[in-house]
Structure 1
Amino acid sequence: MTLTQHWKEIVNLVTQGQRSSMHCAIASVGDDGVPNITPVGTVFLRDDHTAYFFDSYTSQFAKNVKSNPNVCLMAVNTKRSFWFSSFLKGKFSSAPGVRLYGTVGELREATEEEKSAVHQRIKPLSWTKGSKLLWSDFTQVRDISLTDFRPVQYPKMMEHLWN
């Protein structure tokens, strides 16, 4: 299985994961070998098998990737109706999630197009106090060059998927 062969499915899984849980998880490893998982709600995939995310609250992640740029991004569809329906049928209609592996780049200024994309994503909650406190100053992003993936699997309910 390659990224190219399954890119459309991967994009759908990441989209479903972010819609249902409002974030993805990005794992990194520090100099001491200790893993760290960072929730990030601003991950965007591109057609060239890269991604970017707005990096505002990732202090431990930022320390870790200075010495080890390898990361794992995971998105899981946490929507209850998806899981309930899958359990009723005894099979998943799609994988419940995906892990994406790659390397992360340095912080850089976001482009106007990237800023527009994040504003569209946060628009439904932009009227809230929390939105204004957390999401009003998104200016810097990190790129991720994706190299591999692995779907979240429950083989007995997924034999018909990812062939």
Structure 2
Amino acid sequence: MHIDPIEQWPQIRHVFAAAFSTSMHYAVASIDKSGTPRVTPIGSVMLTTPGRGVFLQRFTTGLPQRVEYCDSIAILGVNSGRSFWFRSLFAGRFATPPGLRLNAKVVGAPRRPTANEIARFRKRVRVFKRLRGYDLLWRDPGMARDFEVVSAEPIKLGEMTRGHWANLVAEPSIARLRRR
């Protein structure tokens, strides 16, 4: 089941926020010249306007070359919180979608991130600001890459997720998602 990334953008953002809060990264898949898929963990994926986003490519040594060859990427966000999974397994159903895959195209050339993008990313990692590795990892944000979401697919886990997105589409209130 594919969902409309523009129409369902608030729900997509909510699922992706929950995924980031539990794992601190997303998995970004790309294809190299030999056709081999490669998954890169990226903690700086940020969804922006409906159907669009940006990521910072600070430590993504091979990804820039791969997207020059093939601009298609898949971004996977999964809520890996233990309490989320325990409650869901106990109930026999996920209260909210456990994850989402965004199929996207990288658009444009690498660019310097905007002040707003840097601030938004640093807000995510500010809890680590006083630790030794903070500056080593995040002092220089690297280059930004924009992407456009082509389609979105909810993660399907049988009966535990059956009808999930249809229910969210029928009642699109983010307040409903937050109550669970």
CA distance in 1, matches of 2:87, 2:55: 31
Partner of 1:127: 130
Partner of 2:20: 18
**Structure 1 residue 87, shift from structure 2 partner:** 0.3
Deviations 1:103-132 (A, max 9, x none): 113210111111111121111101111111
Partner of 2:33: 31
CA distance in 2, matches of 1:47, 1:107: 19
Q: Unaligned stretches of 5+ in structure 1?
A: none
| Alignment of structure 1 residues 114-153 onto 2, 5 Å | 114-153=117-156
Same amino acid, percent of matched pairs: 29
Partner of 2:85: 83
Partner of 2:165: 162
Amino acid at match of 2:110: L
CA distance in 1, matches of 2:55, 2:10: 19
**Structure 1 residue 5, shift from structure 2 partner:** 3.0
Q: Unaligned stretches of 5+ in structure 2?
A: 167-180
Partner of 1:92: 94
CA distance in 1, matches of 2:66, 2:41: 15
| Alignment of structure 1 residues 64-83 onto 2, 5 Å | 64-83=66-85
The RMSD of aligned alpha carbons is: 1.1
Q: Does 105-114 or 84-93 show the bigger shift?
A: 105-114
8 Å Cα contact 2:9/2:50 also seen in 1: no
Partner of 1:104: 106
Q: Does 115-124 or 86-95 show the bigger shift?
A: 115-124
Partner of 2:54: 52
Amino acid at match of 1:35: P
Aligned pair count reads 163
Give the secondary-structure state (helix, strand or coil) at the position aligned to 2:164.
Answer: coil
Give the secondary-structure state (helix, strand or coil) at the position aligned to 1:53.
Answer: strand
Deviations 1:1-50 (A, max 9, x none): 31123211111111111110000010000010010100000111013210
8 Å Cα contact 1:36/1:60 also seen in 2: no
Runs of 4+ in 1 over 2 A off after TM superposition: none
